[in-house]
A and B are shown apart, each in its own frame.
Chain A
Amino acid sequence: MEIRFISTLLLVIAGWSTQAQKYVAEKSTVSFYSHAVLEDIKADNAKAVSIFNQTTNDIAFSVPIAEFQFAKPLMKEHFKEKYMETEKYPTSTFQGKISGFDFNAKGIQQTKAAGKLTIHGVTRDVEIPGTIEKQGSKLLMKAKFIVKLEDYNITIPQIVWQNIAEQVEVTVDFVYKPQ
């Protein structure tokens, strides 16, 4: 009986402590910006999910592509149908490790995330510079990077090349709380 109690207690404590090492995004913004001859295109996505394991520094993102919001609905339709093919590739993901983050340090820390970025079904090894800031129990993570469309087999029809840039700037802004 006593053993049972202790083991249950241990289970709870151990469970709590492993859980506490993990952080989940409570607020997220992934946006991209494309600057082209005829048109600047910007889209925001607030439906991305992410999880960060503070002990192992493992991090993962999953971004539902259909949730990017554009100024014009037709842009969104073209983005989903022609460029990102969301029926085939509904999400973009990142899975990797963060380096240069000291959990006990204060202020904004310059960090790097190295791992696999998957967009449009194509997976590439990338290294993304970003910052992490600890605010109370929360972690603020920010990064900005360039995605070249051709790296991910995203083709632009000749006829609209003046409207769409060959590379887009992606900004990620996440707030994590302990799980």
Chain B
Amino acid sequence: MQKQLKIAGVQVLITAVSFIAAVVLTYTASSIVQTLFTLSALLSAGANISADLWLRTIGQDLYGHTFSGFIPLAGLVCIGFLLALPTAAVIAKYTGWPRYGLYPLAGAAAMATLHYGASHMIYDLNLMVGTRGVLGLSCFVLSGALGGAVFIHCLLRLSRSVKTNVVSP
């Protein structure tokens, strides 16, 4: 009984670690995507941006996208994943569809929904500048798919390793 409780506790921890890894990765990737596309648009408008400014702006935006704007991106990614990933788990359980396909799809859907919501906050405007174009939006959505993939990969790998350790003498 105690052993089972221990396994359950470890499983919760593994899920939490996998979830945090997925959110952090998706937030970081989506923030960088926005910065890259925003700065690329400035380049096309005639600005000259040095490499260190690119890096500095990426760093500033990683902070700003969560703490300075109307859209607290990290929090929204977290909420999105809290809805999307359990939904993927339920679908996987009842359909038997491959989890390595479902979870990335769920992550992508979370980011697409986030983009849709943000772009309908005020009229139909893109409050997230980096997602104005198809390519930027695709990369933004892909960052969610990446997060979903990382989540399921971490979850399965860590669970397997824990099971092996628990079963082994």
A and B are partners in one complex rather than unrelated chains: no
Q: Which residues of A contact B (CB under 8 A)?
A: none
Q: Which residues of B contact A (CB under 8 A)?
A: none
